[in-house]
């Protein structure tokens, strides 16, 4: 290919008009480079850095011309391959670090492998009252749901709110649970806002009293805590304790992840795990493994952490198993691996996309294939 042909290829990809074959060709071109800046074509000298810069330039030019809705993210690795997939009005950028050179030929067509497609998760949850009564929030109408003592529980357009109507003599606890494939929003009695991700739960009092505001959670939740100097806000999961006065932070405590991660967006957070503790600054993350201890990590990719709340998948150089854990929770499917896959992936894809479209985007890397069988995803190299 000549330099002009390469420019045309990258422009078609950047514009969202490239065919699957053209996208896979770009991947093969990029994967053909070695660690050194080697000549690739007979007609033109093109190296890895030049090809990546050309792709980025074309994307920026396209964005400047028509200002499409674009989720833009550039891989930090020099050996990254880039793919652009256009779906509807969005452009999705998929990146992956490759350990192999050529895509695996498909034994069955995508139409056959994805005939049992799965729709994305929805807004929904189960609210368990202090007396054990359960309210399915998916089908509950807007308005007053019930009353716990002097506290009224209200549903407003997919959000549960608590309204105190007087002094409460006894504190009662409610639990909100989101099954796999569901997420929900909650406003606690003190005004604290909570976003609950799929396969998560939070137990909390219908009204706060005493010296602290404590909730117990599992899974993942994002908090915007109402400030109160006299009553610190406490989040607990086992022996993990997060203490704040008023701040914005995300807590990921899924049991199938290697560590619990607490990420601070603004304010200040104290994290305690066993006998160890640490204080976070905005942009930092506390990681607590099963062996105990608190590790503070700076310069965290906040966009990746908060993607679920903002309606997207954001994979920043992650392995296939970490990636598929998020997908399995949101689409309520089981994942089965036919063979170990060592490639790392970057992708940014809306969560309101059908499962087949997410899998097709990842398949364009040429490094992985999928099949949907009932409520299972089969992962194949």
Residue ranges covered by each domain of the chain:
3-118+305-380, 119-209, 220-300
202 - beta bridge partners?
176, 217
Residue 210 has pLDDT above 60, yes or no: yes
Q: pLDDT for 224-263, tens place per residue?
A: 999 999 999 999 999 999 999 889 999 999 999 999 999 9
Provide CATH code, domain 220-300.
2.60.120.1440
- Model confidence at 324, pLDDT cuts 50, 70, 90, reads very high
What mean pLDDT comes out for the span 119-126? 96
Query: Is residue 71 over pLDDT 90?
Result: no
Topology agreement, domain 3-118+305-380 and domain 220-300: no
Candidate from 71-80, 148-157, 309-318 with smallest mean pLDDT = 71-80
Report which of 47, 9, 8 is spatially closest to residue 30, judged by C-alpha positions: 47
**pLDDT exceeds 50 at position 143:** yes
Overall CATH class of domain 3-118+305-380: alpha beta
* Mean pLDDT of the 338-354 span: 84
Long-range pairs for 224-232 at CB < 8 Å and ≥24 separation? Answer: 224/192, 224/193, 224/194, 224/248, 225/192, 225/249, 225/267, 226/188, 226/190, 226/191, 226/192, 228/190, 231/190
Structure tokens at 265: 């967006």
Query: Which 8-state DSSP code applies to residue 311?
Result: T
pLDDT in tens, 41-61: 444 445 556 665 666 555 445
| Average pLDDT along the chain | 80
The pLDDT score that the predictor gives to residue 291 is 66
187-197 pLDDT, tens per residue?
Answer: 999 999 999 99
């Amino acid at each position: 290919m000549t330099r002009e042909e390469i420019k045309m290829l990258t422009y078609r990809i950047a514009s969202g008009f490239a065919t699957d074959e053209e996208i896979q060709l770009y991947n093969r071109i990029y994967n053909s480079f070695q660690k050194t800046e080697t000549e690739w074509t007979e007609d033109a000298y093109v190296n890895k850095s030049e090809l990546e810069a050309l792709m980025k330039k074309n994307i920026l030019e396209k964005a400047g011309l028509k200002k499409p809705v674009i989720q833009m993210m550039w891989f930090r690795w020099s050996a990254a391959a880039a793919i652009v997939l256009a779906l509807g009005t969005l452009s999705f950028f998929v990146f992956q670090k490759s350990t192999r050179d050529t895509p695996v030929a498909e034994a069955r067509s995508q139409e056959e492998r994805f005939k049992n497609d799965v729709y994305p998760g929805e807004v929904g949850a189960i609210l368990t009252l202090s007396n054990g009564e359960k309210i399915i929030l998916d089908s509950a109408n807007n308005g007053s749901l019930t009353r716990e003592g002097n506290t009224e529980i209200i549903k407003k357009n997919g959000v549960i709110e608590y309204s105190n109507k007087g002094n409460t003599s006894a504190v009662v606890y409610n639990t909100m649970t989101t099954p796999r494939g569901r997420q929900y929003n909650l406003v606690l009695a003190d005004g604290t806002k909570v976003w609950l991700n799929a396969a998560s739960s939070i137990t909390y009092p219908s009204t706060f009293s005493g010296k602290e505001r404590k909730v117990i959670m599992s899974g993942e939740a994002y908090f915007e805590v109402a400030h109160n100097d006299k009553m610190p806000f406490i989040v607990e999961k086992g022996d993990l304790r997060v203490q704040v006065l008023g701040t914005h932070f995300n807590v990921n405590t899924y049991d199938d992840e290697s560590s619990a991660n607490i990420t601070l967006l603004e304010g200040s957070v104290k994290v305690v795990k066993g006998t160890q503790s640490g204080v976070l600054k905005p942009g930092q993350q506390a990681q607590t493994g099963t062996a105990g201890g608190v590790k503070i990590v700076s310069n965290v990719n906040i966009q990746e952490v908060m993607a679920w709340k903002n309606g997207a998948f954001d994979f920043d150089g992650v392995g296939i198993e970490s990636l598929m854990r998020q997908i399995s929770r949101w689409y309520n499917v089981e994942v089965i691996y036919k063979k170990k896959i060592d490639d790392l992936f970057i992708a940014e894809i809306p969560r309101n996309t059908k499962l087949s479209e997410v899998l097709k985007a990842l398949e364009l890397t040429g490094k992985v294939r999928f099949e949907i069988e009932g409520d299972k995803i089969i992962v194949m190299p």
